[in-house]
Structures are given as structure tokens and as C-alpha cells.
Amino acid sequence: MRRRTAPIALALSLSLTGAAWAGETACWFENGAVVAPAVIGDMAGDYVIDLSAPRTLLHETKAQMAGIVEPELTLPVEVAGLKAPAVSVAVADLDARGAGFVTPIAGVIGMDVLAGHSIEIDFSACKVRIDRPWRVTRQAVLPVEVVDGLPTVIASVSDGPRVLHGAFAIDTASKAMVRLASRDAAVAGKLDPNARHKAPARLRALSLGGVLAENVPATLAEELPEGVTGTLGVGLWAHHRLHLAADARTLSVAP
């Protein structure tokens, strides 16, 4: 169930680190996305936490309500106790990404804010923790490579006769287990483009870290940089805890 906070109380709790201690905030799932309270400038709201987004985005509707007309501006960003004093924030039309949300999303917190910090997403309790101790008894550790600012892990997908192997971004803002770059037509050609909160098609298999998943929900991704084959979304991660190391060299996955 979603947890709602009035905007004034939200801004106050973030500035004083009230309801949750510094380094942690409650989150919720909506349309396959991890959403948490955050503030860009003085604009508090519900922001998507997306490890597969290279940049932080402010919804143009939110910007217009604040009298902002510039397409890009430098603002402080606060989320889960992390305070980034000067972030180049792009103003973007996020209507497509926000379709189906109970309340409009205010923007997207991306890797330009989160890079250099350890990031934990606890899907069971729905908590986002930044620079907090990582304590688990069992885990799988996957090597990470940063491609164009995005942390990626190596995975393979197959539609049956063909296999696609490459770097997949860690996607915390999409319902599908897999989103494939539309340029990789050999396998992606069977998929239809769709919104991130839907997963209308299936792939035969996904292999990650020696584990095989079959009949995998999948869709296309239009915006991925060269060198990134696709993304692995919340449909894959939802029953786990994720921990991206501060040096972005490892992704730990705990049950």
C-alpha cells in the first residue's frame, strides 16, 4: 500500500531527517516503479528512483507550477538523507512515464545524483537506503560495469532460436523483467514498443549470474545509450534486496 505525506510535512521531514533517519526513506511500488519522497529545489513530491536513468528529470508540469520555464537548470536534490547541492536537472515531459499513477510523479531521480553512493533497495519492506551498512546472511554478488553513467550487469536473453548477450542496466522503474534496445532487432524484433509500466510480450529465457528464468515478460526500450543491450526491471528484482556498491563495481542480491 502506498504511503502518502502532505507536501509541507514531506519537505520538513526531509530537511530535518524526521520520520526516517538520514540515509533511509520509505518507498512504494506503482506501475512497476520504485517511488519515494524527494525534493528538487523546493519542489517536494513523489519521484521515481531509477538506477537506469543517467540524468535526473523534473516533470515539466511540476516545473510550470513553480514558474520554471528553462529546459535545464541547476538545483539541489534531496532523497533518503542524501543532499546533492548542485545537480543539472532537465525539465522533461513525463506524461507517458506517469500514465496510470494514482498521483502524478514529480520527476525522476537518476544516477547523476546517486553515483558515488551505495544504494540499497529493499523490495520487501520497500525502503531506499543510501550509504547505510549492508548486512545479509546470503547473497549473490554480480560484477558491475558502468556504461555511459549506467551501472550494468552481464546477462543473456533468448527468443528461442536466437540469443542476445550483453550489458543490461539495473532498472528500478519498469514493470517488465527485460527491456531490450530496439536497435537489437534479432531478438527485439518480436517485441512491441510500450510504456514502461506494461510488459505485453514474452521472451523464451533470461540468464543472469548462472540462474535461468523462462517465459520472461519483456518490452522495448527506445532511450538506451550505445553499449547497453537492455535493462533488467522490477519484475526480476521485486522479491530481493539490491545493493549497488559505492564504487559501482558490484551488485549484491539477497533473498
Per residue in 85-99, pLDDT tens? 999 999 999 988 877
> Could you check whether 7-130 and 140-254 share the same CATH topology?
yes
**pLDDT band of 188, cuts 50, 70, 90:** low
Q: Residue type at 234?
A: V
Q: Residue type at 18?
A: G
Name the CATH superfamily housing domain 140-254.
Answer: Acid Proteases (2.40.70.10)
Percent of the chain, pLDDT > 70? 86
Pick the CATH number of 7-130 from 2.40.70.10, 2.40.110.10, 3.30.70.2740, 1.20.1250.20: 2.40.70.10
Show the cell assigned to 90.
532537465
The predicted model gives 133-155 an average pLDDT of 96
Q: How far is CA 160 from CA 172, 183, 206, 215, 218, in A?
A: 26, 19, 11, 10, 14
CA distance 51 to 194: 20
Q: Which of 200, 208, 215 is nearest to 168 (CA)?
A: 208
> CA angle, corner 237, sides to 167 and 220, nearest 5?
50
Q: How many residues does the chain have?
A: 255
Helix (H, G, I), strand (E, B) or coil at 234: helix
Side-chain half-sphere CA neighbours of 47 within 13 A: 29
189 pLDDT more than 80: no
pLDDT in the model for residue 10? 39
pLDDT in the model for residue 15? 38
**pTM of the entire predicted model:** 0.87
Backbone angles phi, psi at 14, to 5 degrees: -70, -40
**pLDDT band of 21, cuts 50, 70, 90:** very low
7 pLDDT more than 70: no
The predicted model gives 60-67 an average pLDDT of 94
Query: DSSP letter at 137?
Result: S
Domain residue spans in the chain?
7-130, 140-254
Q: 19 with 51: CB under 8 angstroms?
A: no
Pick from 95-99, 152-156, 217-221: least confident? 95-99
pLDDT in the model for residue 19? 39
